[in-house]
Chain A
Amino acid sequence: MSFILDRDLYVPAIDAWIDPVAPKPRAIITHGHADHARPGHGAVLATPETIAIMQVRYGADCAGRFEPLRFGEVLSIDGAKVSLHPAGHILGSAQVRIEAEGQRALVTGDYKRLPDRTAEPYEPVACDLLVTEATFGLPVFQHPHPMDEIARLLKSVADQPERCHLVGCYALGKAQRVIALLRDAGWNRPIYLHGAMIELCALYEELGVPLGELLPATGMPKAAMAGQIVIAPPSAIRDRWSRRFPDPVVCQASGWMSIKQRARQALVELPLVISDHCDWGELNKSILESGAGTVWVTHGREDALVYWCRQQGLAAEPLALPGLDDDGGEGGA
């Protein structure tokens, strides 16, 4: 069977690549994480929010030209139709739908279905060929509700007012989501940021996601940080940077944190299972809802999801894409 998309996520009908690792004449970018969005393409087609994120991270001229496409708008190129649909992963994250030759293909990028007010809510899209991620593609991943996890963080803060809670978060997406969750849970004090977070938080606010009072974490007297919450990249928390805080509680917000051995290895004292990806049940549900007869499974634990798809009578195969290996990497999961 021939498909309108090849296994490198190249779309011949419109001569474009989806999330290419190397510079290409035309790229369609699902979202702003560095394992999907790279600088140096001739043209970048993405949501306006993703384009704004790329420009903040890589500079205003990080691509030859930008082709913003709003959610739901349809772009027709040489008889093919391209549209972007919310993926719910981070602000501006999109699933890419291509329709050509009477076939509908959907590339999910990274996606999640749990509520998150810092990202446009996920939208199911019908298709014939589905390319899905599988970051948490094992049935052991059953993400809890994020508000329960935030409640555990706030309880720990209340129980140990003499210590400073450092929450390890990836700078784009996870950090803003954790801040928003804290606000929703009623944490009205300033939240302190590592330098790597400041610019992206400002961008989120500019794009209409209020985050409350944010202050730089550095330059505060040590004692004043007792009882406070600091958001920082995990690497900074386990390094010299953290010595400035009083008896820090190392927290980490990630889907990986459901596995206690992983949390222990990473020296995390308070693991928070807050994921920006689908868990196993959501992946299953999304695949079935799409109505796709063919499923290509990419980055993550493909084996189990491919096996499951075949059990459902779907044609499924793993895709090995370069540069998309996750595991605690860029995605922060």
Chain B
Amino acid sequence: MKRFAELLELLALTPSRTRKISSLGQYFAEVPDPDRGVALAVLTGELDIANVKPALLKQTVLAEVEETLFALSYDYVGDLGETIALIWPHHGEGELPRLNVLVELLNTTSKVDLPRVIGGLLSQAAIHERWALIKLATGALRIGVSARLAKTALAEMSGVELQAIEEVWHGLKPPYAELFAWLEGKTGRPEVDHTARFHPLMLSTPIEESDFDKLDPRDFAAEWKWDGIRVQLVLGRDGASLFSRTGDDIAASFPDVVEAAMGWAVLDGELLVGHDFAPGSFNDLQQRLNRKVAAPKQMAELPGFVRVYDMLFDGDEDIRALGWQARRARLEAWFDQNPQTRLDLSEVLGFTAWEDVVRLRRQGAESHGHEGVMLKLRTAPYVPGRPKGFWFKWKRDPNLVDAVLMYAQRGHGKRSSFYSDYTFGVWKGNEIVPIGKAYFGFTDEELKQLDRWIRANSIGSFGPVREVKKELVFEVAFDSAQRSARHKSGVALRFPRINRIRWDKPASEAARLEDMDAFVG
């Protein structure tokens, strides 16, 4: 447990991704089974200790600490778990039981006995272990480590491809002994049932207008590039899973979709929200993402659906080696046999010459719900990763706006001594109101110039944020704009980035808030 507590603290505080990965790898290589597997389950969010909830922890601590003093402390610290770890009045010399013993203990203790058992553990633990124990018990890590980062560490430590790990991941259960045995070369790859697992996705590469000379339009099919999130829907005999593109199971956030889906297949598509298959904005979708449980009100207002565009397995038959055209035919037939209420087919757009696609893309820019055109080689098999020449994405041109730099904040890690996060705004009458934030799109050399300019033109500071003279204009590129009650300007930009720094342009010539209306859908 001590080792795990040290690992969690390091992961929580180190800004460097590389160091997080190497520390994870070192932990997995040095700590024996089954503890490392339990740790992996905690880090990937696969461990659920059902009975330890915030209310129970609060009850535990209030048996030891006076209520007003606890309330004042919680108010100051802001995080329940951390408050309890810090305030616990009894001190041990450390050494909690091993991780797997601990988890077993928490999982088998009755709800009535849990406060006493947790209290006993807290009294036994040294302070860093107390924090880790509470994180472990509640499963709310919030330390900046994703499941994918943990899997990346496994890949780097073993030399096995990340994709290969993701292929088997969802068929495995904690404490992952067979996974570690495979990664260490002691056994072969674990056998898992395809219908219970995630299959790494096929990704596209960007294309430019000039690339079309080399390509024959007859070889390609076109579809809209939908503006949702990429998902894989695994419909098995024993239930369904919904995976994000990184293999995180997000079924719990979208029970409306998962429970309504009929049939047996592995499908690839775009998760969207909206009534009657009319996609709403990405902003709408975001309100339903990252929720552990879906609220009925939101499911009613923002029903989810999947716009399906590919099929990997038809029943239990792996059809990934077939060409796109053949898979599409299988997909259409499958839809005929399995009527759906929350799945629909992505439309194949008709065209004969590249000029038609150019026109489609231009016209498409006027409508909402998608962000450009996809082109797929009709004969291409389904290949995980980003194979060249099979799938192309042709995003519509970004929207551009000239905005004025308002505030700058120092970045993280390597950029921690540079002002690299920028808030910019547009004119509303005589004042400038913020419309967004961006922290990339410029070169290292430009970053240095911006850093110098910000230090020389600072007019105030609030903690890590500096307010600057409203004089520097950024040409900001963004994918779309939405109404937003959260921003003073009432507008929020999607995927904003700094396109150009307009050292030459006076702030008075920057955009006005009225100009933004044209972009809002």
Contact = CB atoms under 8 A, between A and B. Distances in A.
A267 B76 contact: no
Interface in A85-141: 138-141
A7 interface: no
A258 B13 contact: no
Contacts of B66: 311
B13 A308 contact: no
A238 B410 CA distance: 9
A4 B278 CA distance: 78
B65 interface: yes
A264 B12 contact: yes
A141 B69 CA distance: 12
Contacts of B416: 238, 250, 267
Given A242-B417, A261-B78, A138 B72 contact: yes
A243 interface: yes
Interface in B56-94: 65-66, 68-70, 72-73, 76-79, 82-83, 86-87, 89, 91
* B: contact size bracket: 20 to 34
Nearest to A281: B89
A223 interface: no
Contact of A243 (B68, B131, B417): B417
A308 B87 CA distance: 15
Interface in A264-280: 264, 267-271
Contact of A139 (B14, B65, B82, B131): B65
B73 A304 contact: yes
Q: Is the interface of B mostly helix, strand, loop or mixed?
A: helix
B127 interface: yes
Given A140-B83, A144-B127, A307-B68, A263 B13 contact: yes
Nearest to A259: B77
A2 B225 CA distance: 79
Nearest to B79: A261
A267 B13 CA distance: 8
A271 B128 CA distance: 12
A270 B13 contact: yes
B73 A138 contact: yes
Contacts of A261: 77-79, 82
B189 interface: no
A268 B13 contact: yes
A259 B82 contact: yes
Contacts of A264: 12-13
B15 interface: yes
16 contacts: A138-B69, A139-B65, A139-B69, A140-B73, A144-B127, A238-B416, A238-B417, A240-B417, A243-B417, A258-B86, A260-B13, A263-B13, A264-B13, A267-B15, A269-B13, A269-B14
Listed from nearest, the 5 A-B pairs whose CB atoms lie closest are A140-B86, A140-B73, A304-B72, A140-B87, A138-B73
Given A142-B86, A242-B417, A259-B82, 20 more contacts: A138-B69, A138-B72, A139-B69, A139-B70, A140-B83, A140-B87, A238-B416, A258-B86, A259-B77, A259-B86, A260-B12, A260-B13, A261-B78, A261-B79, A267-B416, A268-B13, A269-B14, A269-B15, A304-B73, A311-B66
